[in-house]
């Protein structure tokens, strides 16, 4: 990947085009990890809506262990988002170019850990599910916070509820015909927003297909190319920071 493009994607200076493209990339990653993780532990981990609902269900049914497991997963997602905020604010305070690259590099390492840990814990089913679910929720919380911060909460990549809702709104505008004013529907819809939302949805679905197929064919090894891709993207700003610290101060 060209160095300039990596800086464009995750550099400190943000543009709408950069936010859109990194959003598509990370939506693909989220879809792949969510689908592959489901095949591993039979539970989706990219959003917390179902987890919060399951807390109420299991609490009413008196299933204490399942309540604790769901709460632990929600807490892991929360901690992932907190970790991202700490890393980004740390980098901003020191004016580092890698303020968004740092959490992405951590995500890449954790995805690799998911692959390595899952292969090892597969022999211990009692440990596999809770540990893997917590790790995947932490990863998704971390990623969701990264995209939220770099796009000023405009783009989300780990859950598609808002994306599909916003797409529905834009399609409604596209099809609406105002009988009083005669305004054509094509004037009202935000075509660029539809393209971004459609790209996020398509990337998430595509990632899910790749993740499911990859886990079916390669097992936990499907995580390696995903982790490598994120690492390559994140290392360029980190290299820029390191190189900047090596330069002698100007006289």
pLDDT over threshold 70, residue 114: yes
pLDDT for the residue numbered 75: 93
1-44 confidence digits (pLDDT tens) = 577 777 888 888 888 899 999 999 999 999 999 998 888 878 88
**Which tokens sit at 169?**
């709104």
Calpha distance 113→75 (Å, rounded): 19
Domain ranges of the chain: 14-239
pLDDT over threshold 90, residue 200: yes
How much is the average pLDDT of 151-180? 82
Q: Between 187 and 128, name the one with better pLDDT.
A: 128
- Percent of the chain exceeding pLDDT 90 equals 38
Angle at 140 between CA 94 and CA 4, to 5 degrees: 50
pLDDT over threshold 90, residue 239: no
pLDDT for the residue numbered 251: 39
pLDDT over threshold 70, residue 123: no
Torsion angle of C-alpha atoms 136, 220, 1, 200, degrees rounded to 10: -50
Whose tokens are 């399951």? That residue is 54
Q: Write down the mean pLDDT value for the chain.
A: 84
How much is the average pLDDT of 123-152? 84
Fold topology of 14-239: Growth Hormone; Chain: A; (1.20.1250)
pLDDT over threshold 80, residue 231: yes
- Percent of the chain exceeding pLDDT 70 equals 87
Alpha carbon separation from 243 to 6, 122, 246 (Å, rounded):
16, 42, 5
């Amino acid at each position: 990947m060209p160095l300039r493009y990596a800086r464009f994607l995750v550099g400190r200076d943000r543009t709408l085009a950069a936010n859109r493209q990194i959003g598509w990339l990370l939506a693909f990653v989220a879809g792949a990890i969510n689908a592959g993780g489901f095949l591993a532990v039979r539970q989706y981990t990219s959003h917390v809506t179902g987890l919060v609902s399951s807390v109420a269900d299991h609490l009413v049914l008196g299933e204490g262990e399942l309540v604790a497991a769901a709460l632990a997963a929600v807490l892991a997602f929360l901690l992932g988002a907190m970790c991202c905020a700490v890393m980004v604010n740390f980098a901003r305070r020191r004016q580092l170019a890698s303020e968004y690259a740092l959490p992405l590099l951590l995500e890449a390492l954790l995805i690799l850990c998911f692959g390595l840990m899952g292969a090892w814990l597969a022999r211990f089913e009692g440990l596999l599910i809770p540990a893997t679910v917590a790790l995947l929720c932490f990863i998704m919380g971390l990623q969701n916070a990264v995209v939220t911060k770099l796009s000023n909460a405009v783009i989300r990549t780990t859950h598609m509820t808002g994306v599909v809702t916003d797409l529905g709104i834009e399609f409604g505008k596209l099809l609406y015909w105002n009988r009083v004013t005669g305004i054509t529907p094509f004037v009202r819809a935000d075509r660029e927003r539809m393209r971004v939302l459609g790209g996020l949805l398509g990337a998430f679905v595509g990632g899910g297909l790749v993740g499911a197929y990859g886990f079916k064919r390669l097992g936990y090894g499907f995580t390696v190319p995903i982790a490598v891709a994120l690492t390559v993207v994140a290392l360029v700003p980190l290299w820029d920071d390191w190189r900047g610290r090596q330069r002698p101060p100007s006289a």
